[in-house]
Each structure stands twice: as structure tokens, then as C-alpha cells.
Structure 1
Amino acid sequence: SRDERQGRTGFAHLFEHMMFKGSENVGSGEHFMLVFNNGGNMNGTTNTDRTNYFEVLPANQLDLALFLESDRMRSLAITKDNLDNQRNAVQEERRLGVDNQAYGKSDELQQELLYDNFAYKHTTIGSMEDLNAASVEDVAAFFKMYYAPNNATIVVVGDFKTADALAKLRTSFEAIPRQPTPPPVDMTEPQQTAERRANVDDVLARAPRVDIAYKALPGNTADFYALQVLNAALQGGQSSRLYQKLVKEKEMTTNVGGFIDERRGTGALYTNATLRPNVKTADVEALIYAEIDRLKKEPIADWELNKAKNTTRRGFITGLQSSISRAITLGQYAVYYNEPGLINTRLDKVAAVTKEDVQRVANKYLADTNRTVVVTMPKSKPRGTNASSGQ
């Protein structure tokens, strides 16, 4: 969605849906049927930095997967009926995931506050107004620009002979014409100089929630891996500092956690905490900031550093257990960093992080002036009305 322009937010995700509406040799919905009838699974996903499509099939059905993908890359069925159908599907997805979801508006607002550059400032799902404005001509132009072989990465993982698979790939895709190279996206993000803050009254929320984000840096950098280890120590599971302090010791929140977002551009470190009854959001914030200050002032102990690295290592390895997860990871590293081999060296970069690195990145990125805070409070629904929005 970072490639979207103002007035056409949600377009990358909308187009992901369009890719299942048929092509020259595959009817609408037939893609699903052919994969499922051959014992497989398939889907597509879109985030800020890429859209992916995948098929999981028996090894003897590689030809089918390549046929389906190459046929829609070559000849997608772009019609007004298909567009209207999938526009409605995406709008319903927005209603379910944002408009009628507790804290949905808070998540969207935090993204908007956190970033200045439009590429990341808007959410992938987009706005209802922009989805309504999409035309068949928009779809055709988007398809021609981005859905070309020179802008695609194909990953095949499984039981096959490499030479045979490469020959099949060439047969399937080489004849598809390349298109002009998509324009580069300006990912420049200015330095934040003051805390940003907003409050949301949410008729769907049942408990107050505090969401905090610190602007960070792109993935696959030395500081990114240090922040990964810091994140594991601070909020990675029930043995983490924040969970032990806020949930176990103080009993102020029902849960607390977060993550470091890996992006091609500037990512962020996120923390959220859901409060128990009669607890003040300011008190929860104060304890979170106190734990962050500890990381700034005192190097973490050797045992905690090792535990944080083990947590990070376990999360990475667990995410590579299936063929499809390995394929998605390889493709993402190729698109993000032009480095698919990172799948074999990433843990070495985590292992190289020192406790001095953790303390340094805490001071560099977790500054008061670099954070964006959204506080969500439950709001009583007016009598005689049905809540249709979370804000």
C-alpha cells in the first residue's frame, strides 16, 4: 500500500481481491476450485510493503500453480462487475476489522499520527471514500504498472529438481511482456521532535487501552536487530519486564505486549496495555516509561540478554516450520532487501547483539519526543441506538 496515491488508498488490497476473479483461461472462482480439488490451499495477503499470492500443492502439481499464476499475470479479467463485487467485499472487510471492531479506530489513528510520509501514514485497508472512487481505468493502470514479470518475485519451495522447475518457470512467464519500471517510492520520514497524542472514545471497547509507538528504522539493520532483542526483554511474553511489572506484580493490566515492526522504510516499536477496572491510564504509562528508562540507564544482565536472544531465535525458527512460511520469508527478503539468503544469516545478526547495543538503541529511539500515544476509553452507547462505529 506504500505505492498508493492520495485519493486511492486501499487500492493494493482491493487489487489483491481482483486477482481471484478470473483470467483468459480461468473462470471467476475457478482458481480456488482447481487448487482445492488437487488437495491444496491458497490465498493472498497485502501489507504496507508488498502483496503476495501463494499456492500450497502436492509436488506433482507444480505445473498447475505456475499455470494459474502466469495466466492471471498475463490476462486478468478486469471488468466493472468484478470491480464492484470485490469493492463491496473489501468494504465489508473494513467494517468487520476496523469500523465495528473494538480499538479498530485507535489502531488506524495511531498509524496516521505516527507517520508524516503518506506512504505509511494511511492504512492498507484504505478509506470507504477512496474505495468508492476506484474505477475500472484505475484498476487497469495499476495492473499494467505493478503486475508485470519485471516487478514480480517467484519463490518455489518443496520437492522438485531445480533445473526442471526453472525450465517450467521460463515456459510459464518469459513470454509475458515486461512493463515500465514502477516509479520509486519516497520513503523519507522526518525526525519527530515532540510527543504526539490522541484520545479515542470507543463504544465497542470494554476496557481502557494504552497504545504507544516509537518511530524506529528499516529492517535488516544493526539497530533493528538490537531493537528486536530489546523488545523481547521488555515485552516478549509472560517473563518479560512489562508483563511481570504490570500484570503480575502491580495487577494493573490484563495484558501487555508489543513488537518491533519490520518494514522496508521506517518501522516502529509498538506497546499496548489493556487496563483492569479502576486503574488510571496515566499510572500505566508511567510504569511503562519507568521500565524503558531502566533500559536506558542500566545494561541488561547477561542472563536476560541470552533469554531475549533465545526468544527472538525461537520466534524466527518457529515461523519457518512449513514450506509456505519458508517461501513467504524468502520472497519477502528478496523484495525488501534483495537478499533472499538472509534466511540463512539472520540469526547470526541477532547473536551479534550486545547488551551495550540494547542500551544504546533504547536511548536512541525510545525518547519521549519520539513516541506517539493513543489512549482509548470505553464510551457508553446512547440508548436506543446500535453502535456502527468504534469511535
Structure 2
Amino acid sequence: MKKSLIALSLLLMLGGTAHAQKVAFEEYDLANGMHVILHNDPSAPVVITSVMYHVGAKDENPERTGFAHFFEHLLFEGTQNIKRGEWFKIVTGNGGTNNANTSDDRTYYFEVFPSNNLELGLWMESERLMHPVINQIGVDTQNEVVKEEKRLRVDNSPYGNLIGQVKKNMFVKHPYRWATIGSMEHLDAATLEEFQAFNKKFYAPNNAVLVIAGQMDIAKTKEWVQKYFGPIPRGQEIKREKFVEDPITTQINATYEDPNIQKPMIVASYRTPSMKTRDARVLDMISTILSDGKSSRLYKKIVDDKKMALQIGAFSFNQEDYGMYILYGMPQGENTAKDVLREMDEEIVKLQTELISENDLQKLKNKYDNTYVNSNSSVEGVAENLASFYLLYGDVNLINTEIEMYRSITREEIRDIAKKYLNPNQRLILDYVPAKDKAENKQ
């Protein structure tokens, strides 16, 4: 009884925290079309300046893949007022950190400084946008950096090509079909003028959102935003082509040989709707039921009880236009990929035919409350969430309201969404196996 009371009190505390943690923000537009979001948090003397651009791998020319990720590196090379090689020195020399990342849908840059260096952060991000130096020496330097990253993270990393191979087989028309890091041959073939044209097209204030989060004087911050970003000219409006995939109606079968692995992996992937949909949130919950932690259904049954696999998992790969729901398993002992797939399918059928218990649903929602609290527990997390919800979802206030969507999901919805998307005739089965020559050498 004592443990039950403790658990209940913790649950009530968590629920209260999740409800109380509303993220306050202010948003407005500059005359050049740049959207600005401010979140004042005086709790610690730090501030993040971040810019998210609505450009990712899906915006590339099919003959020039890798440009979006390449620019994540290239735009640290320097500007007209920041000499080459000085960017990181300025940041660290003023007590800050910085980074950037790219997806198929967007590119994100940020600096975290002590709050008394907010103006410096704004100036640096405005320099990246207004005065980038894109020359041959920078392109050549970053080309080698990107090649090394690809060798390290993809070519020579065990299972490093998994997501790329799933995408390649899941998409026919949509640019999601190529890997975010792109093709090194395409980058080698590109001219300096092509890189400059890509920058001019996508790195414009009206294709970006500026988010400032942390300790700040709002009035002064607005003055600095206008001072540094206001004079940047508006770019041409970007016409985005809409790519619609035909439904998958027959199982796709594919094999990929990876020279970096010794153990095969079976992968089942289903095409799913945009991350903006309610269905995508339900699929998130299904992932949690199946593979979040050692008490999850797949792990407990296939790894713990039956000891048929070394690893097992399921996750939603959520994106702006389409998503993928991916299950994977690594057979062990005499068990085959087909054996593991059969066990995974059985658990999906259970979800399609049996309602989860009310108790399991409540535990599920508690986990999402916890995730919500954690995702907004730092200025870095808040800034990226604000940027993403504006740029990709079209609703900044989802930072406060998305959790209510998860809380409102029912047991019946979980069953029905599993029925709708997770069927054998709607999927890719990828046998991800060791390369034959390597496997033969091991014998």
C-alpha cells in the first residue's frame, strides 16, 4: 500500500508539472518575411540564438543530392566580416557553444551564449545569412570533411546504411528516396556556381525562422533583431513541388549486403502519413507499446523470454510529407530472420485485434507527459521545438498543445491505426545481411 501511495503521489506531481509547464512566447514577422519567435526565460543567465531554414535533402536536385547537408558545414567557413577559421574561435572565446544539423526537411543552426552575449549571437547568425563567403577553397575543404563523415557514419559503420536502404526502397517519386548525406559523386561534380545558386535560393529570410530563447530584455532584443536581420533582402518565393507516392499494395522485398556487420538484421517498414497528422502521433504510441524499454512487448517476448533475438525495436521515422514505421530484429542462435519477423507480426496482430488495457493506456500517457516535460526542460530544447512547430507544423503553440493530443488518444484508435497502416501487403521487408565475401572469409 505504501508503494502504491508513493506511485500515486509521483503520478500526480508529474501530471501537475506537465500541465503547469506552459511555454510562453511572442512571435512576429520582419518586413523581409523572416519569422521571429522570442521566449524569455530568466531562470539561468544563458540564451540561444537559432535559425531554422526550410531546406533539407528533399529540396535537392536528384542529380545534386547532399547539398542541404553540405551547407550545414559550408556556412561555418566564414563571412565577409568573420574570417575563415574564426567562427568557432569567436564562439568559444565568448563562453559559447554552437552546432547545426540537417534533416530531409530543414537545416538548423544555433549558438548558446551567456546572456550578456546575445547581441553577438544575433550578429553572427545575421552574418551567416547576409554575408556568407562561398568560394572554391571553402567548398573543397568541406567536401573532404563531408566525405570523412560519410566514411565514418555510413560506409564504415555497422548498419550505417540501414535508413538509407529503407528510404531507397520505400519511395519511388518523393525525394525522401535518397540519403540525407547525399552522393559524394554529385558533390564532386557540382560547380561553385551551383552552390552559390543553392544558397541564394534557400538561404533567405522569408524561408527561415529566428528563435531566441533564454534570459533577455525583450525590447532590446527586438532592437537588435531589427538592426541585424531587418536589412537583409527578401528572397524569391520558393515554389515547392508536391510529390505523391502510389500506395504500397504488395509487399516489397529487398536485400542489402553490409561489409561492416557479422549479424544479419530483418527490417519491416511501413509508409505512414505526415508527422503533422493525428495518425502519426498514434503510431508513436504504438512504438512505445512495442519496444520502449525492457518491459515492452517485443523486447520481453522475443529477447527476454524466448531469447530469439539480440536486439529488437520499433520506431516512427517522422517527416514533413511522409513517415516510415520501422521494426527491426537481430536473430540469434538457430533462429532465422523469418522466425523473428513472425514473432513481431504476432504482436502487431494483437494490437490490431485486442484493445490494450486501461492501465497500459494510462502508463503510456504518463510516459508522454514525462517526455513532454523533458523536451522543454532546457532553452535549447524549447528553441528547437518552437522553430520546428512553426516551420514544419505551421503552429507554434503545439509546443503547449501537442501533449493534449497524445493524452486524448484512445485504446480504440491504437487498434484502428495499427489495422490501417501495419499490414503485410503495405510494407517493405529488408534483409540486411553481412556481405557474402566477408561471410565466406569468416568461415
Q: TM-score, normalised by structure 1?
A: 0.95
Q: What is the identity, as a one-letter code, of the residue corresponding to 2:87? A: H
Q: CA deviation at 1:329?
A: 1.1
Given that 1:236 and 1:311 are in contact with CA atoms closer than 8 Å, whether structure 2 keeps it comes out as no
Which residue, 54, 70, 87 being the options, matches 1:31? 87
Given that 2:79 and 2:132 are in contact with CA atoms closer than 8 Å, whether structure 1 keeps it comes out as yes
Deviation digits for residues 87-143 of structure 1, max 9, x if unmatched? 111111111111111122333211100112332111110012112112111111011
Residue 161 of structure 1 pairs with residue 217 of structure 2: yes
Please say which of residues 208-217 and 197-206 is displaced more in the overlay.
197-206
Q: 1:371 to 1:57 in 2, by over 3 A?
A: same
Decide which structure has greater strand share: 2
Residue 77 of structure 1 pairs with residue 144 of structure 2: no
Q: CA deviation at 1:381?
A: 4.9
Please say which of residues 213-222 and 42-51 is displaced more in the overlay.
213-222
Residue 110 of structure 1 pairs with residue 166 of structure 2: yes
Structure 1 stretches of 4+ with a deviation exceeding 3 A read 379-383
Separation in 2, partners of 1:149, 1:382: 50
Q: 1:304 to 1:382 in 2, by over 3 A?
A: closer
Q: What is the identity, as a one-letter code, of the residue corresponding to 2:268? A: I
Q: CA deviation at 1:382?
A: 5.3
Which residue, 103, 108, 115 being the options, matches 1:59? 115
Q: CA deviation at 1:72?
A: 1.8
Given that 1:2 and 1:185 are in contact with CA atoms closer than 8 Å, whether structure 2 keeps it comes out as no
**Structure 2 unaligned blocks of 5 or more:** 1-56
Q: CA deviation at 1:311?
A: 2.4
Please say which of residues 102-111 and 33-42 is displaced more in the overlay.
102-111
Q: CA deviation at 1:174?
A: 0.8
Q: CA deviation at 1:378?
A: 2.5
Separation in 2, partners of 1:308, 1:371: 26
Q: What corresponds to 1:282 in structure 2?
A: 338
Which residue, 349, 353, 357 being the options, matches 2:413? 357
Which residue, 320, 324, 327 being the options, matches 1:271? 327
Which residue, 400, 404, 423 being the options, matches 1:367? 423
What is the total number of aligned residue pairs between the two structures? 385
Deviation digits for residues 36-95 of structure 1, max 9, x if unmatched? 111111011000110000001110111111111111211111111110111111111111
Residue 245 of structure 1 pairs with residue 294 of structure 2: no
Given that 2:169 and 2:177 are in contact with CA atoms closer than 8 Å, whether structure 1 keeps it comes out as yes
Q: What is the identity, as a one-letter code, of the residue corresponding to 1:307? A: K
Which residue, 330, 350, 366 being the options, matches 1:294? 350
Q: What is the identity, as a one-letter code, of the residue corresponding to 2:208? A: A
Taking only the aligned residue pairs, the percentage that are identical comes to: 33
**Structure 1 unaligned blocks of 5 or more:** 386-391
Q: What corresponds to 1:127 in structure 2?
A: 183
Given that 2:62 and 2:175 are in contact with CA atoms closer than 8 Å, whether structure 1 keeps it comes out as no
Which residue, 376, 394, 402 being the options, matches 1:346? 402
Q: What is the identity, as a one-letter code, of the residue corresponding to 2:99? A: N
Residue 314 of structure 1 pairs with residue 370 of structure 2: yes
Deviation digits for residues 130-168 of structure 1, max 9, x if unmatched? 121121111110111111111110000001122221221
Given that 1:106 and 1:374 are in contact with CA atoms closer than 8 Å, whether structure 2 keeps it comes out as no
Q: What corresponds to 2:201 in structure 1?
A: 145
Which residue, 273, 276, 279 being the options, matches 1:220? 276
Q: CA deviation at 1:210?
A: 1.4
Q: What corresponds to 2:37 in structure 1?
A: none
Q: CA deviation at 1:302?
A: 0.9
